[in-house]
Structures are given as C-alpha cells and as structure tokens.
Amino acid sequence: RTVYLNGEFLPENEARLSIFDRGFLFGDGIYEVTAVLEGRLIDSASHMARLERCAREIDVPLPVSTDEIVAIEKRLIEENGLVEGMVYLQLTRGAEDRNFLFSEDIKPTLVLFTQAKTLVTAPIKGLSVKTVPDQRWARRDIKSVCLLPQVIAKRIAKAEGCDEAWMIEDGFVTEGASSTAYIVTADNRIVTRGNSHKTLPGCTRLAALALAAEQGMTLEERPFTLEEALNAREACLTSASNFVAPITRIDGNAVGSGEPGPVVKRLRELYLERAR
C-alpha cells in the first residue's frame, strides 16, 4: 500500500513516525474515517467539515487545506486500486520531547492510509449489540484518538458474541462504540439523540436523517433509554464503516420481530442509492 505522511506518498513500510509524537504519548490528536464505494469517497464534505471543526477545537492547525486532503485521499484510492473500503486520516499535534505543554512552533503530523473492506453485503444481516457503561470523557463531539473506552467496550461485546457495543449513561443510550444509535417506535418514528457534547455528530447520521426527512419519514431527535430500546419495533446504527445497518438483538433480546424491519431497510436502501 501507498500511504501519506506529512507531504509524502510512501510505501507503508517506509513511513516512519517519531516515538515522541504526541498522538502516541498523549492521545493528542483526532481522526476521520471516510467510506469508499466504487472508488468514490462517501460524505466527503461532511467529514472534512468535522475534521476542520475538531482541529479548531483542539487548536491543531491543518497543515494542508481540506481540498488538498481530498486530493490526497483520491490519489491514495487511485494508487492502491481501492474499490470498496475506507480512507483513514489522523492529525496529531506533532512530535517533540515529552512535556504536557507544547511549544509554539510544533509541526502537526498528518497521516492517511486506505483499508480495503466489504461494506455492502447482501442480504442484509441484523447486528447484535451488547450494552456497556459509557466511560468516556465529556467532549465526545471531538473525534479524538483516545479510544481506550471504545476498545474495552468492543472487546466486551465481542466476548458475548455481539457485533457492536451500545454505551449507556444514566439509563440512556448515548451511542455505539463506533456508530450512532437509533430505534424505531411502534408508531414508526425514527428516534436518535440530537447532537451535543455527549456524542460524535455522525456524518452518516447527517445524510441519513436528511434522506429520511425528504421521504416524509418521521424523525424525533431526543435521547432514548435502554428500556425503550428493548421495547422498540426496530433499531439500527449508522457509521462510515456500516452505513445504515439493522440491529436485531440487544443484550440477547430480539428487537421487534428479531428480523430487520421495513423502516430500517428503507433507510438503508435510500442511503445506498444515494451513495451509489
């Protein structure tokens, strides 16, 4: 694979980073994952907007413009012959001798690489989720590389044979370990949390909700409890790595009929039609 590191396109085994990089020492950095379908970037503009916002929030300057980043992503897709999968981007504050405080002339580190992955599998399979306590910090709207709580959550989910973890705080579902969480009520309302510091504002969420609204589907942006989720008719998640995916089991309990339902199936189709 060809990867990108600070202005250079290199074979992956020639890319070298300092052990003093603050992304490594402090988790002082942010990231983006953008899906690629048929060689094209999906929801690229919203990923770039979120990257700019997060970079501003942690006060790390983008070393190149977002237009240049998109050009880098396209070149990596081309050089690596990527048809389906994702582009990963990481921006850290940079490298210098370890100190909590950093100097004014520190140079950010920008890394991008591609990953081949099957994103659209047919027929659609219902995913299972395991609930875990949300043990993250208070600024989950920043796509920080400090992912230890999510790594632990996903390991617990995997140990129980589940595909994703749903994180619970004060009885409410905040979001998945790497996805946005939704339920569909008995009267066919699609319920998902509104954006706040409590969750990452998903790019897939933004696009999926716009499509749902366009189609006249009923949306309710509010927190929902685990109890509500256990009694929901349908459930799903959205993320760059799964688009819109039905959830059919929560902590071993069937959601609704236990099969992917019509509202989520429709939302997935709408999203994929637009992506293709």
150-to-36, 44, 59, 104 alpha-carbon distances in Å = 23, 24, 24, 32
Minimum CB separation from ligand PDD for residue 123, in Å? 23
Q: Does residue 174 touch ligand PDD according to CB under 6 A?
A: no
Minimum CB separation from ligand PDD for residue 148, in Å? 13
Q: Which is nearer to ligand PDD, 95 or 112 (CB)?
A: 112
Q: Which is nearer to ligand PDD, 218 or 241 (CB)?
A: 241
| 56 backbone φψ class: left, alpha, beta (φ>0; ψ -120 to 50) | alpha
Among 92, 178, 192, 248, binds ligand PDD (CB under 6 A): 178
* Proportion of the chain in helix, strand, coil states, percent, rounded to 5: 30, 30, 40
Q: Which is nearer to ligand PDD, 210 or 254 (CB)?
A: 210
Q: Does residue 131 touch ligand PDD according to CB under 6 A?
A: no
DSSP state at residue 14 = G
Contacts of 232 (CB under 8 A, 6+ apart): 183, 184, 185, 224, 255, 256
- The residues that are catalytic are 143
Cis-peptide, bond into residue 61, ω within 30° of zero: no
Among 202, 223, 260, 261, binds ligand PDD (CB under 6 A): 202
Q: Does residue 33 touch ligand PDD according to CB under 6 A?
A: yes
Q: Which is nearer to ligand PDD, 92 or 204 (CB)?
A: 204
Q: Does residue 192 touch ligand PDD according to CB under 6 A?
A: no
